[in-house]
Amino acid sequence: MLPGSIQITGETLSGAEVKDICDSLKENTVRLLSVRGCQFTDRDFGRVCRGVAESHSLAQLNLNLGVVSSITRTKQLADALKTNRSIQTLFLHGSPLLDEGLVVLNTALSTHPSLVSLDLGDCMLGDEAVRLICGMLPPDGAKSGLRELTLSANPAITTKGWARLAVAVAHSSQLRVLNLDYNPLGDQIAGMLAVAVASSRTLEVLDLEGTGLTNQSAQIFLDMVENYPTSLRVLVLAENDISPELQQQISDLLSEGEEEEDKEAEARADAPLGCEKIAWIPHSNSSSRHVVLLTSGLGDSLLAETEM
């Protein structure tokens, strides 16, 4: 286990074990708390939430796989997040939140001063939840917002919800990673997302694995990366009805763009002092990409052992 972390999976936690977790949180030495798939009483869950609220060190909270299993627990978590100021990454994957749960969490999530990465995959969300989530993707010049968002496996979201998200992504000033895998999107919604990607100045990773796409939407993405400047560096199209040749063409073009930006960054780094500086910052270099993909902005040592 990593220093400064508490990671427990799929266990039934006793009152004594919960007390130990809460005591550690109060000592402000815990940066990662993961109790994914664990079972404990509502009273003990409330105790953990109070510990989270009081912690000044906690950067990542993993409550995946049904830990937030009722509206009562959702309200307890919302209250904790309203007080906490340190959490950067929150995993709620596999929690039966529904739109009602997002309504309860919305204020706490959208006003949290440090939250940059949010996993709401398989949370039974619909269009109303997406409307609230779009408020966490503010446009240029607005408040800070999410840099990484996961909405995997939320099949109740309709075309209207995805269209709303596509508009928010196109204008978001900070979003870098968007995971939409295993949603029944199809080519029409993928076309909307392609327009959003082309408009975005920050999005670097888009995961569309298993989303019902065909060569039709892959061709749109190919035309986009071939003919228009884009920040996109990774496009995941596995488990779709897309030819390997098209997937490889897209991957090759994205790699070429990445290599060109790396060379430009090296040239600027090697420029002698006193030379005129180009007023442009690349959206991605090798180190920042590593942070986005592997660490959600928290440092790779912290997230190295974290699981979905």
**Residue 8 pLDDT:** 97
Tokens standing for residue 36:
């994914």
pLDDT tens for each residue of 125-182: 999 999 999 999 998 766 789 999 999 999 999 999 999 999 999 999 899 999 999 9
Can you list the domains of the chain with their CATH numbers? Answer: 5-183+199-209+229-237 (3.80.10.10)
Handedness of CA 124, 135, 307, 235 (dihedral sign): positive
What's the pTM? 0.85
With bands split at pLDDT 50, 70 and 90, how would you rate the model's confidence at 198? very high
Kind of pairing, strands 205-207 and 89-91?
Answer: unpaired
Q: How far apart are CA 76 and CA 47, in angstroms?
A: 9
Block residue for tokens 């074990």: 17
pLDDT tens for each residue of 60-74: 999 999 999 999 999
